[in-house]
């Protein structure tokens, strides 16, 4: 593993009452912790130069809140607090430092949990996966799509177009949960539809929060815009979104994300350094619920042998092949099989089994082909 300690500045030692304090390996005055074994690493990156708002400063109050919490069940892996990646001479310097840290941690099966910083840092998170040379899925918890114009500079509300222009491009799917239509231009919606990306509106999520789970189970990288939380559940003196996710809903999302065997990196952006204790406490709780989800993973992502899965064939009218579903005996979660082109196994092996739920199976029994099957087929073709 390359030495990534050069990118980090230490933090003061934590002094809290909770058990997490005793189990957290912190980069402090005693030095950088040795990265060994599977685990989760907290990284703070106060880079705001491309933010839509004028934000400056550093505040790690969420660490104090987290230190007060207790361990959950089965937390038998390492928890690291690697400290701060301070902004470099240029934003690109910050991107480089963060991407290098992510790349090395992911190779060691350590999940980076990045506290930003503005949303454009997602580009650095994405670049951290480039060295793996495999297609990845991104899931965004956001009230907007943040596509931007083709020639617009990379910024916190214009970064998706830059992700799409990367060559080679390793982005297979991009799903956004919590979209508020009044904040999205029609041409952005049209582009996502053209690219067969997924959009889940906030209203649909409120009607059925479990609609987010398959998207999270399908993703390698999770991006959460803290502004997507309604201001009354974060801090109305700092944030101004009167509509958005409730705090408990976002905690549930983090638990789903942690349970996902594919989830390898989490980026929580637009965390204002001047956040109040209530916002800091919510941020700490989001970290806790994600860690608890990871601790309760069951390892049932169906790659390789399908022993331990129930297989269901559904015959469709006017359709040559059956739709094939798998159901895990461990978690009772569902997947839908989509065939990839011959000779493309190494490229698409992680993407042709698409997380779904029992409603998709029930729809297939009524001769309705799930949208996710069509979208995945188009991306694989």
Q: What is the 3-state secondary structure (H, E, C) of the chain?
A: CCCCHHHCECCCCCCCCCHHHHHEEECECCECCCCCCCEEEEEEECCCCCCCCCCCCCCCHHHHHHHCCCCCCCCCCEEEEEEECCCCCCHHHHHHHHHHHHHHHHHCCEEEEEEECCHHHHHHHHHHHHCCCCCEEEEEECCCCCCCCCCCCCECCECHHHHHCCCCCCEEEEEEEEECHHHCCHHHHHHHHHCCCEEEEHHHHHHCHHHHHHHHHCCCEEEEEHHHECHHHCCCCCCCCCCCECHHHHHHHHHHHHHCCCCCEEEEECCCCCCCHHHHHHHHHHHHHHHHHHHCCCCCCCCCCCCCEEEEEECCCCCCCCEEEEEECCCCCEEEECCCCCCCHHHHCCCCEEEECHHHHHHHHCCCCCHHHHHHHHHHC
Model-wide pTM > 0.75: yes
User: pLDDT category, 68, cuts 50, 70, 90?
Assistant: confident
Residues 234-266: pLDDT tens digits? 888 888 889 999 999 999 999 999 999 999 999
pLDDT at residue 196 in the model: 94
Q: What is the mean pLDDT of residues 353-368?
A: 93
Query: What confidence tens digit (pLDDT) does each residue in 324-337 have?
Result: 999 999 899 999 99
- Whether the pLDDT of residue 304 is over 70: the answer is no
What domains lie within the chain, and their CATH numbers? 5-295 (3.40.800.10), 309-380 (no CATH)
What pLDDT does residue 23 have?
Answer: 85
pLDDT band at 1 (very low <50, low <70, confident <90, very high): confident
With 60 as the cut, is the pLDDT of residue 100 above it? yes
């Amino acid at each position: 593993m390359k030495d990534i300690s050069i990118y980090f500045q230490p933090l003061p030692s934590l002094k809290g009452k909770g058990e997490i304090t005793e189990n957290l390996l912190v980069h402090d005055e005693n030095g950088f912790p040795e990265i060994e074994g599977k685990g989760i690493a907290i990284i703070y990156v106060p880079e705001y130069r491309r933010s839509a708002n004028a934000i400056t400063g550093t505040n790690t109050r969420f660490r104090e809140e987290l230190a007060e919490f207790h361990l959950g069940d089965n937390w038998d892996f390492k928890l690291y607090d690697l400290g701060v990646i301070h902004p470099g001479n240029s934003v690109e310097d910050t991107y480089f430092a963060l991407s290098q840290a992510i790349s090395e941690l992911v190779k060691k099966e350590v999940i980076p949990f990045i506290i930003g910083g503005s949303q454009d840092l997602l580009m650095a998170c994405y670049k951290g996966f480039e060295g793996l040379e495999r297609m990845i899925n991104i899931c965004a918890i956001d009230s907007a799509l943040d596509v931007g114009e083709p020639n617009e500079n990379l910024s916190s509300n214009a970064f998706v177009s830059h992700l799409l222009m990367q060559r080679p491009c390793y982005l297979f799917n991009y799903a956004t949960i919590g979209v508020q239509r009044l904040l999205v231009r029609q041409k952005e919606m049209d582009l996502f539809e053209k690219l067969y990306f997924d959009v889940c509106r906030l209203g649909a999520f409120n009607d059925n929060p479990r609609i987010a789970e398959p998207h999270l189970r399908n993703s390698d990288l999770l991006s959460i815009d803290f502004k997507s939380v309604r201001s009354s559940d974060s801090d109305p003196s700092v944030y101004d979104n009167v509509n958005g996710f409730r705090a408990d809903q976002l905690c549930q999302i983090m638990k789903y994300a942690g349970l996902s065997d594919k989830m390898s990196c989490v980026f929580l952006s637009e965390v204002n350094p001047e956040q109040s204790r209530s916002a800091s406490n919510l941020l700490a709780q989001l970290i806790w619920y994600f860690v608890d989800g990871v601790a309760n993973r069951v390892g049932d992502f169906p790659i390789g042998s399908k022993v331990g899965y129930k297989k269901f064939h559904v015959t469709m009218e006017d359709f040559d092949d059956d739709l094939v579903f798998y159901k895990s005996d461990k978690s009772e979660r569902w997947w839908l099989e989509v065939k990839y082109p011959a000779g493309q196994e190494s490229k698409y092996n992680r993407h042709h089994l698409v997380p779904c739920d029992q409603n998709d199976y029930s729809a297939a029994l009524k001769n309705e082909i799930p949208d996710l099957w069509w979208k995945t087929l188009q991306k694989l073709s």
